[in-house]
């Protein structure tokens, strides 16, 4: 694989800077903390990291409310720390993708402050979506709950598809377009290898701001398939990405754009990764698929077909900072566990079942051709923190939904490195911006390194084997198996996942390479287990 196309089969590890590693003991992760831990990711065997936002921000949406796109929030360090992180990653052979949030700024961004100060009718207000009226301009709801319009004391309304502290930019304004081209160059010049584009399907709104009365869709959920709603997946977004692509193509080394677009069906999503647009799009239909052979096979097939059609690589993902961790999600009966957030008093997942399925799901995912995304902590088998007291919740969805949605804090808790250290080795002090559950000692990295059968060693072996057998650039051929199972060949590796109640046989003569749990006494693949074997 030429290095220019490194991303086609890459495994990309998402770092959530608040919760990865804290160098100064203030309970909030930071860039020097990340840099110091990068050798661990090299040892794990990933190809690249994606960093959630670290820019100056009032942190009303954990940094997805950006006040300055060209800086680093002092909580996380300095621009010099960002440069050091990028250089260290490159020395270790890791690529670096940063998060770009173009749909909205923070209300503390200089442009929005200027818009507030300048008043109705001013050019400053043209960069956002302001409207007059006694009533909200339309019926749109915020993704986090409540109306998507906020009224100012001067009578005007502004649009915010997310929190009221996240005003939507007006992407029909040439200054907005020019500004983001410049921001792209700012980070490309600093050496980043790409951008994960936040809410990539939201930038352009239907010109008439047509009413949309369907219930608002919570984050981490897909709109029902059908004509796109007036705020999502409008045709005009594609022109923006074509322009961005031409900027990236001026830089050497294979710089990429990754779309966060909650769009379906897969053919609509694939439109973001046509040859002159982005390079990858997160495969949320795959993330959302139930733990069932038929549905997963259908989604794998339709994803590969839709991406093949446009010449793009297919991506696979099971967890991120917006959804319940898959080790917990898969511990619920089918159809449950998909809401964003689980709290005390809610139905709880079966932790053992969830982890068993999560390990099987990961082995299945990492055997698929294409690129895969991992979320920090999943290599430890970390479950969601489902016992967070509601008073410590910080996700704006909790307040804005009127305490209906617990929100995403449970997947954002600082991760455990050392079982017996303060804050489980997250930082030097016993401080963590969200409390860590005591049970996480068992999941700490130092309890798993070198331990045969640990989830960490399973991930490490899988990543090594995936590389040796070139599974990321291979081709999937389905094999006949029991109806409750999936079996396929990718190059010289045969993969079997058993979703059913009865154990299933491997093809005759198969030599086991890896297995998410031991096989049964008869050499059969038990329920909720994935096996990689060679023929």
Q: Which residues are catalytic?
A: 198, 250
For the bound state, the minimum distance from the C-beta of residue 302 to ligand GLC, rounded and expressed in Å, comes to 23
SS3 180: helix
CA torsion 208→214→220→222, rounded to 10°?
-80
Closer Cβ to ligand GLC, 21 or 259, answer by number: 259
How large is the angle between the packed helices 31-44 and 455-468, nearest 10 degrees?
60
Residue 29: φ, ψ to 5°: -60, 165
| Tokens coding 270 | 């694939």
Closer Cβ to ligand GLC, 356 or 406, answer by number: 406
Closer Cβ to ligand GLC, 16 or 532, answer by number: 16
The single residue among 22, 30, 61, 378 that binds ligand GLC, judged by CB under 6 A, is 61
For residues 146 to 165, the per-residue mask of contacts with ligand GLC, x marking binding by CB under 6 A and - elsewhere, is: ----------------x---
Closer Cβ to ligand GLC, 218 or 388, answer by number: 218
Closer Cβ to ligand GLC, 258 or 327, answer by number: 258
Closer Cβ to ligand GLC, 47 or 322, answer by number: 322
Q: Binding to ligand GLC by residue 378, rule CB under 6 A?
A: no
Closer Cβ to ligand GLC, 320 or 432, answer by number: 320
Answer whether 474's CB lies under 8 Å from 489's CB.
no
* Number of residues binding to ligand GLC, judged by CB under 6 A: 10
For residues 160 to 189, the per-residue mask of contacts with ligand GLC, x marking binding by CB under 6 A and - elsewhere, is: --x---------------------------
For the bound state, the minimum distance from the C-beta of residue 217 to ligand GLC, rounded and expressed in Å, comes to 11
For the bound state, the minimum distance from the C-beta of residue 512 to ligand GLC, rounded and expressed in Å, comes to 38
For residues 259 to 288, the per-residue mask of contacts with ligand GLC, x marking binding by CB under 6 A and - elsewhere, is: -x----------------------------
**Interacting residues with ligand GLC between 66 and 125 (CB under 6 A):** 101
Cα 533 from Cα 520, distance rounded (Å):
15
Cα 314 from Cα 287, distance rounded (Å):
13
Query: Is the alpha carbon torsion for 259, 58, 220, 333 positive or negative?
Result: positive
For the bound state, the minimum distance from the C-beta of residue 182 to ligand GLC, rounded and expressed in Å, comes to 21
For the bound state, the minimum distance from the C-beta of residue 103 to ligand GLC, rounded and expressed in Å, comes to 7
Based on its alpha-carbon atoms, the radius of gyration of the chain, rounded to whole angstroms, reads 23
For the bound state, the minimum distance from the C-beta of residue 162 to ligand GLC, rounded and expressed in Å, comes to 4
Closer Cβ to ligand GLC, 99 or 528, answer by number: 99
For the bound state, the minimum distance from the C-beta of residue 161 to ligand GLC, rounded and expressed in Å, comes to 8
The single residue among 81, 322, 405, 517 that binds ligand GLC, judged by CB under 6 A, is 322
SS3 117: helix
Residue 300: CB partners within 8 Å, gap ≥ 6?
286, 368, 476
For the bound state, the minimum distance from the C-beta of residue 160 to ligand GLC, rounded and expressed in Å, comes to 10
What are the angstrom distances between the C-alpha of 136 and each of 127, 133, 159? 19, 7, 9
Answer whether 280's CB lies under 8 Å from 254's CB.
no
Residue nearest to ligand GLC (CB): 64
DSSP 372-438: EEEETTGGGTPPP-TT--GGG---HHHHHTTSSS--SGGG-SPPPS-TTSGGGGSSSSS--SSPPPG
Answer whether 29's CB lies under 8 Å from 21's CB.
yes
Count CB neighbours of 365 within 10 A. Answer: 24
- Whether the ω angle into residue 265 lies within 30 degrees of 0, i.e. cis, is yes
DSSP 118-171: H-TT-GGGGGB-EE--SS-SS--B-TTSSBSEEE-TTS-EEE-SS-TTSPBB-T
**Interacting residues with ligand GLC between 197 and 256 (CB under 6 A):** 198-199, 219
Query: For binding to ligand GLC (CB under 6 A), which residues are involved?
Result: 61, 64, 101, 162, 198-199, 219, 260, 321-322
């Amino acid at each position: 694989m030429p290095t220019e196309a490194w991303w086609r089969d890459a495994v990309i590890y998402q770092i959530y800077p608040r919760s990865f590693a804290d160098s100064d003991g203030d309970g909030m992760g930071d860039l020097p903390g990340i840099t110091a831990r990068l050798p661990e990711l090299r040892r794990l065997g990933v190809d690249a990291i994606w960093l959630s936002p670290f820019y100056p921000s009032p942190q009303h949406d954990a940094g997805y409310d950006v006040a300055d796109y060209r800086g680093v929030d002092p909580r996380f360090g300095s621009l010099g720390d960002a440069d050091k992180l990028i250089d260290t990653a490159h020395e270790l052979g890791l690529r670096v993708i940063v998060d770009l949030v173009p749909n909205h700024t923070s209300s503390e961004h200089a442009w929005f402050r200027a818009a507030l100060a300048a008043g109705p009718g001013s050019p400053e207000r043209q960069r956002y979506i302001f409207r007059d009226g006694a009533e909200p301009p339309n019926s749109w709801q915020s993704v986090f709950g409540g109306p998507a319009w906020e009224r100012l004391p001067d009578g005007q309304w502004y649009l915010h598809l997310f929190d009221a502290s996240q005003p939507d930019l007006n992407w029909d304004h040439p200054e907005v377009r020019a500004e983001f081209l410049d921001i792209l160059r700012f980070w490309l010049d600093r050496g980043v290898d790409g951008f994960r584009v936040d809410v990539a399907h939201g930038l352009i709104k239907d010109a008439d701001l047509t009413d949309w009365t369907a219930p608002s869709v919570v984050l981490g959920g897909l709109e029902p398939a059908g004509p796109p709603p007036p705020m999502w997946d409008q045709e005009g977004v594609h022109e923006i990405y074509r322009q961005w692509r031409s900027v990236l193509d001026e830089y050497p080394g294979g710089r990429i754009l990754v779309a966060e677009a909650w769009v379906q069906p897969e053919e609509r999503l694939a439109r973001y990764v046509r040859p002159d647009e982005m390079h990858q799009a997160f495969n949320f239909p795959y993330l959302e698929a139930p733990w069932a052979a038929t549905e997963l096979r259908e989604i794998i097939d339709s994803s590969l077909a839709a991406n093949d059609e446009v010449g793009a690589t297919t991506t696979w993902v099971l967890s991120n900072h917006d959804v319940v961790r898959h080790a917990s999600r898969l511990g619920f009966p089918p159809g449950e566990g998909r809401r964003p957030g689980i709290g005390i008093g809610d139905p709880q997942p079966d932790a053992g079942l969830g982890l068993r399925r999560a390990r099987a799901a990961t082995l299945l995912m990492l055997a698929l051709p294409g690129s895969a995304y991992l979320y920090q902590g999943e290599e430890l088998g970390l479950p969601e923190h489902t016992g967070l007291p509601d008073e410590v919740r910080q996700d704006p969805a909790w307040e804005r939904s009127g305490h209906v949605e617990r929100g995403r804090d449970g997947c954002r808790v600082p991760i455990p490195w050392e079982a017996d250290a303060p804050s489980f080795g997250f930082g030097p002090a016993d401080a963590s911006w969200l409390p860590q559950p005591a049970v996480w000692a068992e999941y700490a990295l130092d309890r798993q390194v070198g331990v045969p059968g640990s989830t960490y060693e399973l991930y490490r072996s899988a990543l090594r084997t995936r590389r040796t057998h070139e599974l990321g650039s291979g081709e999937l051929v389905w094999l006949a198996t029991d109806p409750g199972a999936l079996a396929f060949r990718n190059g010289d590796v045969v993969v079997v996942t058993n979703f059913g109640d009865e154990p299933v046989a491997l093809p005759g003569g198969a030599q086991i390479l890896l297995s998410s749990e031991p096989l049964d006494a008869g050499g059969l693949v038990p329920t909720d287990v994935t096996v990689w074997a060679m023929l």
